[in-house]
Amino acid sequence: MHSFSPLRIRNHSLLPIVQGGMGVGISASSLSAAVARENALGTIASIDLRHLHPDLLEQSKALASQEHYDRLNRIALDREVKKALKLANGRGMIAVNVMKAVSDYAALVKQACESGAQAIVMGAGLPLELPDLTRDHPDVALIPILSESRGIQIVLKRWMKKNRLPDAIVIEHPNHAGGHLGATTIEDLGDSRFSFARVLEETTNVFRQLGLESEKIPLILAGGMANVRKISTALRQWGAAAVQVGTAFAVTREGDAHENFKQVLAGARDEDIVEFMSVAGLPARAVMTPYLQKYLRNEQKLQASAKADPRRCVQSMNCLQVCGLRDGISKIGQFCIDQRLTDAFNGDVRKGLFFRGKDPLPFGQQIRSVYDTIQYLLTGNTTKATNHALA
């Protein structure tokens, strides 16, 4: 049993735990449904879900075009959302995470809503037009991911003009989260403007200036929160409504990725986790694998020879709106993010890019269940469940 107040989103009363969206294929129907069955918020990452569907992968070979790949990915998203809702059996919530940075984000939002997603979570850019994209689906909760109060203020002002408010806001600390990070440069990751306490205080002031009741928009802290003491501080002292956790759920038994993927993430030491500039023009955090070590060794040489050439990306799916490799932008990453994340999903340590959060995992190198993970996050209990039906 825990003593935290529930996270309230629309007519749902949930555990104050949100599972973060992780692509490619890391958080799909299996993981999100397992989290939802515990009455928390599970999230499907919308990026390139074809890899969970052999028939769609086979169809991908028939026609190498971005339009064809995008269509197949929307079919995969539809399948995963419907499967997750069925497996969740009416408990918790199923959200879909859509990155603003991908070129077909609007189509993915529309597909997620039509497939029955109960919430849309959007980061990797300011989701200013999200209310417009979901106008025909007013019952879908909208949850932007932001890292500082300035971005929150911009989103609130724009959405208020559309007579819409966020149903919750995820505040992600770039100095702790995994994957693409909400800062401009690597040197910027530790800037004090991202401090949770500061952002919460400044956001409360923004609510007051805009005439909003802060308790009606739950604030969810993300990045380095897979620790019961940090969660207690966030919920009891700072006034957050919930926390979002990614890597700790990625390594659970119910996680959708290959077992090798889970072992790489769970076995990473502090010195194995590094920051680098990704192809999207944002800092990123991942495990130092043989691939990443080789890439960073050759990074300057690759950047020096950067040249815009769309043909280098014929096998890339869910292309980014801005890509260092395709667009020849020399100051940022020079690799195909989709291919490298696909290799990681399949457990290929030699070629994969394994995004990971910075902080220790609850059970070290152990692969445990979603149930065990949530019990630890809420109570600090590290005992392995033996009689839980879903464990």
Residue 384 lies in a domain: no
Q: What's the CATH number where 18 sits?
A: 3.20.20.70
Rounded distance, CA 124 to CA 122, Å? 7
Residue 1 lies in a domain: no
Residue 82 lies in a domain: yes
Q: For residue 363, which of 371, 373, 354 has the smallest C-alpha distance?
A: 373
Rounded distance, CA 376 to CA 360, Å? 13
For residue 326, the model assigns a pLDDT of 76
Residue 385 lies in a domain: no
**205 and 311 belong to one structural domain:** no
Q: Structure pTM?
A: 0.93
For residue 339, the model assigns a pLDDT of 85
**Largest distance between two CA atoms of the chain:** 58
Please count the structural domains in the chain.
2
Q: What is the DSSP letter of 320?
A: B
Residue 353 lies in a domain: no
**146 and 277 belong to one structural domain:** no
**49 and 96 belong to one structural domain:** yes
**138 and 224 belong to one structural domain:** yes
**119 and 134 belong to one structural domain:** yes
Local confidence pLDDT in tens for the 391 residues of the chain: 678 999 999 999 999 999 999 988 899 999 999 999 999 999 999 988 988 999 998 888 776 677 788 899 999 999 999 999 999 999 999 999 998 888 889 999 999 999 999 999 998 888 999 999 999 999 999 999 999 999 999 999 999 999 999 999 999 999 999 988 988 889 999 889 999 999 999 999 999 999 998 778 999 999 999 999 999 999 999 999 999 999 999 999 999 999 999 999 999 999 999 999 888 788 999 999 999 999 999 989 888 888 887 766 655 455 776 776 777 778 877 888 888 888 999 899 999 999 999 999 999 999 999 999 999 999 999 888 876 755 4
Q: For residue 46, which of 117, 133, 127, 147 has the smallest C-alpha distance?
A: 117
**177 and 269 belong to one structural domain:** no
Q: What is the DSSP letter of 71?
A: H
Residue 352 lies in a domain: no
**187 and 202 belong to one structural domain:** yes
For residue 316, the model assigns a pLDDT of 47
For residue 389, the model assigns a pLDDT of 59
**240 and 307 belong to one structural domain:** no
Core vs surface per residue 96-110: b (16+ CB within 10 A) or e? bbbbbbbebbebbbb
**284 and 190 belong to one structural domain:** no
Residue 49 lies in a domain: yes
**148 and 210 belong to one structural domain:** yes
Tokens describing residue 322: 């801005």
* Domain span holding position 308: 265-345
**194 and 66 belong to one structural domain:** yes
**92 and 139 belong to one structural domain:** yes
For residue 108, the model assigns a pLDDT of 96
Residue 69 lies in a domain: yes
